Structure 1
Amino acid sequence: MFKVVLIEDDPMVQEINRHFVDSVPGFKVIGIAGNGLEGIALIEKLKPDLVLVDVFMPNQDGLTTLKMIRTKGYQVDVIAITAASDMDTVRSFLQQGAFDYIMKPFKFERMKKALENYRSFRMQINKKQTISQEELDEVLFQKELEEQGELPKGLNGVTLKKVISFLSSHSFPISAEEVAEGVGIARVTARRYLEYLEKCGKVKIDIQYGGIGRPVNRYIYNG
């Protein structure tokens, strides 16, 4: 059973998220905090496996809370659940090691997918004292991408996972430039990952035509 702490200031959202988490087998909410400071205190006291944190809260926001979790060295993973959709916030959470980023409003299926991916990741990691590159890649890609064959030269699993996480946090098509900015990679590099995912059938291309200039390829995750 994975122990979960919710850090969210809206009581109604607290209850919805608690219900969603408890509805996924293997997960249980053991504590709820109304802001980041209360959340840190609960983490110290309850020692959860996973924290679901909002961004905009009084008495310490979610990003500051995540940075404090890392600074204090707590052995806990973090998933952001927030209405924040600006690139700087998304990129900051990913750079601080957030396992996933879920944008409000969202459906139960999105939460379920995030928790099931997390469970798969933890179960694989917890089995071993050491791990091979092949085994690590299998964990990072949740197996599905490995079934498409080895990654092309120049692509790596960690960056691929970040690209997938960023794409899956958007319910609308986004450009390679937006992916590059959100993940913190060069635009030409982002295009290579997007082309690979499109070849694997994990993203769809939405061509958008403007008034002047060439059409822009935008991408939406359908994995």
Structure 2
Amino acid sequence: MNLIDLILVEDDPMVMEVNEGFIKRIGGFRICGKARTGKKALEIIRNLRPRLVILDIYLPDLNGIQILKEIRQLGIPTDIILITAAQDVATVQAGLRFGVVDYIIKPFKYERIHTALNNYYSYAEQLQNRWEINQEDLDRLIKIHPHQDTLANRSREELPKGLREITLQQVYNFLKETPIGLSAEEVAEGVGLARVTARRYLEYLEKMDRVLLETQYGAVGRPINKYKIVL
């Protein structure tokens, strides 16, 4: 498969440089344009019509959601990955409603964007040079597509009282980045939550069958509960 054309939109030059390094390290993508403002981003997207745009929300002129809406209104066949510090549920839901393929919250680790781009590359590869698709292949593609792995698109009514979609997604993403099981204390420290709060999210994820609970016994002391992503 040929390299996938990608445009990077980020107003912070240091973050731009870091993201560019990550993308080059992952491979499979060609950065065909960069923009530090919303207006410049729209100009480049209109002219180049890339397959993928990595888009920040907080830009000096236009909001990233405004850019996303404009792209959709223009009918440009471009997919969007949002990488942003915006964590409020309204913004997350707006991004999902306008069809972003992934939503990555800053700060993030290399493994998170690596997973996002690998998933997207697999998704694009499966659709290449196809005119039709059957149900079996479509079901498999939907599982590959990174958007389908976003827990934040679940309705608020499904969550127990006191739990938030965005925090649930953060806990789940943190577990995904670690191949070994983690305790509630380790998750709490990694995500920035109280231990009792982290345990509530982990117990909910276990109830959803998204994580496995493993009890580990040491030589002395109490057993430790470890949570691991279900593969």
Do both proteins adopt the same fold according to a TM-score greater than 0.5, normalized to the shorter chain?
A: yes
Match of 2:66 in 1: 64
Aligned residue among 108, 119, 122 for 2:124: 122
| 1:40-189 to 2 correspondences below 5 Å | 40-142=42-144, 162=147, 164-166=149-151, 175=159, 178-179=164-165
Instruction: Give the counterpart letter for 1:3 in structure 2.
Output: D
Per-residue CA deviation, residues 196-217 of structure 1 (Å, 9 max, x unaligned), is: 9843xx3358xxxxxxxxxxxx
Q: In the aligned structure 1, how far is the partner of 2:137 from the partner of 2:112?
A: 26
Q: Give the aligned CA root-mean-square deviation in angstroms.
A: 3.1
Tell me by how many angstroms 1:45 deviates. 2.0
Aligned residue among 9, 21, 24 for 1:22: 24
Q: In the aligned structure 2, how far is the partner of 1:95 from the partner of 1:221?
A: 26
Per-residue CA deviation, residues 141-180 of structure 1 (Å, 9 max, x unaligned), is: 129xxxxxxxxxxxxxxxxx75621359xxxxxx556349
- Cα 1:55–1:204 change in 2 (3 A) is farther
State the identity as a percent: 35
Q: In the aligned structure 2, how far is the partner of 1:74 from the partner of 1:220?
A: 39
Per-residue CA deviation, residues 87-130 of structure 1 (Å, 9 max, x unaligned), is: 00011100100000000001111111000100111111124211
Q: In the aligned structure 1, how far is the partner of 2:77 from the partner of 2:148?
A: 24
- TM-score w.r.t. structure 1 length? 0.69
- Cα 1:221–1:63 change in 2 (3 A) is farther
Q: In the aligned structure 1, how far is the partner of 2:4 from the partner of 2:35?
A: 18
What stretches of structure 2 of length at least 5 have no aligned partner? 154-158, 170-203, 214-226
Q: Which of these two proteins has the greater Rg computed from alpha carbons?
A: 2
Instruction: Give the counterpart letter for 2:164 in structure 1.
Output: E
Instruction: Give the counterpart letter for 1:203 in structure 2.
Output: V
Instruction: Give the counterpart letter for 1:96 in structure 2.
Output: F
Aligned residue among 34, 37, 40 for 2:39: 37
What stretches of structure 1 of length at least 5 have no aligned partner? 144-160, 169-174, 184-193, 206-218
